[in-house]
Chains A and B, each alone.
Chain A
Amino acid sequence: MTDTVQSLEPMIPALRRYARALLRDRSAADDLVQDGLERALSRWHLRRAEGNARAWVFAILHNLAINRLRQGARRGPHLPLEEVAEPGMPPVQDDALRHRDLLRALDTLPEDQRSVLLLVSVEDLSYAEAAAALGVPVGTVMSRLARGRERLRQAMEGEAASAEVPHLRRVK
C-alpha cells in the first residue's frame, strides 16, 4: 500500500482542481474525487504495469465526472454554486473578476473541449497522456485542443463566432 500512497497522494490537489473546474461546485467536486480515489485504490493492482499512473487516475476521475455531468444535464441546467476564488486569500479585485469571466467562458465550451483544455493547459498532461485519460486518439485531443482554445479566445475577446481557424501552410 505504501507505493500506492506515494503515487496517489501527490495527485490529490490536481485531481481536486480538475474536478472543481469541470463541476464548478466544491462539495460535488470533492465527492467526485473521493469516489475516484476509492475506485483507484480498489483497482490499483489491476493497473497496467506499463501504463502511466497519472493518466490512469485522471481517466477514472474523468469518467466519474462525465457521468455526473450527464446526470446533471438530465436534471436541468447546471448552476455553479460557488466561484473558484476562495475567501481567506483575497486576490486583487481585477484579477478575481477576470478569472471569474474566464471560468464562465470556459463553462460555455462543449465538455469534450473543456476536458482537453484543462488536462493539457492546467494539469500538464502530455498529449499522449491526455489521449489515454480520455480514451481517444491523440489526433482527437489535438483537434479538440485547437477548437477549444480558439473558441475560448473568441469568447474572451467578445468576437462573434467567426470562420474556422485558417489552414496553415508554410509558404516558403
Chain B
Amino acid sequence: MSQRPITEDDLHALVDGLLDSSRQAEVDAYLAEQPAVAARVDAYRRQRAALREALAPVAAEPVPPELNLARLIEARRRPGRVPWQMAAAVVLALGLGGSGGWWLHGRMSPAPAGIAALAQQAAESYAAFVPDRERPVELHAADSATLVRWASTRLGRQVKVPDLSGQGYRLMGGRLVPTTQGAAVMFMFDDDRGSRLVLLTRPMAVDRDTPMAHRDDGTVQAFTWATEGNGYSLVGSLPPATLHPIADEVRQQMRRV
C-alpha cells in the first residue's frame, strides 16, 4: 500500500474526477477521518456543480449567425478581402521599388556587404513572409526533420534550429530564400499572441566572425552576427530590449552546433 501523503492536488483531482481508482480510495479513506477537510472538499464539489449549472444556459443557446463557421470560411475566401490600404501600399511599394528604387540604386548607398547585407535580407524576408496569412513558411514545423535536412543540403553545412520555447516562441517552419550571396534559410517562430520572428542564416564570405550588431528600421529590429563563417540575423517587431536577449539565446545555441 502506498504511503504517499495526501496533497492539496489530490483533493482537487478528486473534485474534478481525475484520480485513478486506487488513489481515489486512499483519498476517500483520508477524508473519512478528516471531517474538516471533507467539508471543504464537499464545498468545492458543490461550487463546481453550481458553476456548471450557472453557465450551462450559455452553451445551450443557439449559435448566433456571426459565429457560423461556414460563413466565416466563405468570408475568408472572398477575393475582396484585401483592404484597399494594403493594396495601395503594395502598388506604392512596387512603384517606389521599380522606379525610385532603381534611381536610388548606386547613387545613395553602396550595396551592403557582410552582415549588413544579411541584416537587410533578413528584414526583407520578414517584410515578405511574416504578414502572409496563407503560407508564411514552405515547410511546417511538423516536417522539421525534412526542413533541417533540406536546409543543410542547400547550404552545404549542418543547419540547426534554435529552441526558443524558453522565450515563449515555437518554430512555425521555414523556407529557402534567394540572396545575392546564394541560398539562405529562413526559420519563422511565433508565440501564443501571434508575434512572429524571422531568423535568416547563410554562409558568410565576408564578416565570417563578427560580433552582434543591431539595426533599427523603426518598427522592425534586427540583430545580426556571424560565427565560424555562418551568418545569422534575427528580425522581429519587438522592442530592442526584448529582442536582444532572444538573439543572445540563439547565438548561444548556435555555438553548440
- A interface residue numbers (CB < 8 A to B): 1, 4-5, 8-9, 12-14, 16-17, 20-21, 30, 33-34, 37-39, 41-43, 45-46, 48-50, 59-60, 63, 84-86, 89, 91, 95, 98-99, 102-103, 106, 117-118, 120-122, 126-127, 135, 142, 145-146, 149-150, 152-153, 156-157, 165, 167-170
Known: A13-B59, A149-B47, A165-B8. A34 touches B18 (CB 8 A): no
B67 sits at the interface (CB 8 A) = yes
B63 sits at the interface (CB 8 A) = yes
Residue from the list A20, A30, A63 in contact with B66, Cβ < 8 A: A30
Residue from the list B12, B58, B170 in contact with A146, Cβ < 8 A: B12
- Please report the number of residue pairs spanning A and B whose Cβ atoms sit closer than 8 angstroms: 138
B50 sits at the interface (CB 8 A) = yes
- B interface residue numbers (CB < 8 A to A): 3-9, 11-13, 15-16, 18, 30, 37, 40, 43-44, 47-48, 50-61, 63-64, 66-67, 69-70, 72-73, 76, 133, 136, 140-142, 168, 170, 172-173, 190, 192-194
Please tell me if the beta carbons of B73 and A1 are within 8 angstroms of each other in the complex: yes
Known: A34-B67, A102-B54, A157-B43. 13 other contacts (CB 8 A): A9-B69, A13-B61, A14-B59, A30-B64, A34-B66, A39-B194, A59-B192, A89-B57, A95-B53, A102-B50, A149-B44, A153-B43, A170-B6
Chain A residues with CB under 8 A of B40: 150, 153
Please tell me if the beta carbons of B63 and A12 are within 8 angstroms of each other in the complex: yes
Please tell me if the beta carbons of A126 and B54 are within 8 angstroms of each other in the complex: no
Please tell me if the beta carbons of A146 and B8 are within 8 angstroms of each other in the complex: yes
Please tell me if the beta carbons of A63 and B59 are within 8 angstroms of each other in the complex: no
Chain B residues with CB under 8 A of A30: 64, 66-67
The closest CB in chain B to the CB of A86 belongs to B57
Q: DSSP majority for the B interface?
A: helix
In the assembled complex, how far is the CB of residue B21 from the closest CB belonging to chain A, in whole angstroms? 17
Chain A residues with CB under 8 A of B55: 17, 20-21, 84, 103, 118, 122
Give bound CA distance, A150 to B193, whole Å: 30
Chain A residues with CB under 8 A of B66: 30, 34
Q: DSSP majority for the A interface?
A: helix
Known: A13-B63, A33-B67. A46 touches B72 (CB 8 A): no
The closest CB in chain B to the CB of A49 belongs to B142
Residue from the list A33, A41, A121, A135 in contact with B52, Cβ < 8 A: A121
The closest CB in chain B to the CB of A13 belongs to B59
Chain B residues with CB under 8 A of A168: 5-8, 11, 37
Please tell me if the beta carbons of B48 and A121 are within 8 angstroms of each other in the complex: yes
Chain A residues with CB under 8 A of B47: 102, 121, 149, 152-153, 156
Chain B residues with CB under 8 A of A17: 55-56, 58-59
Known: A99-B53, A117-B51, A145-B12. A37 touches B69 (CB 8 A): yes
The closest CB in chain A to the CB of B172 belongs to A46
Chain B residues with CB under 8 A of A39: 194
Give bound CA distance, A4 to B70, whole Å: 10
Please tell me if the beta carbons of A142 and B9 are within 8 angstroms of each other in the complex: yes
Give bound CA distance, A63 to B55, whole Å: 21
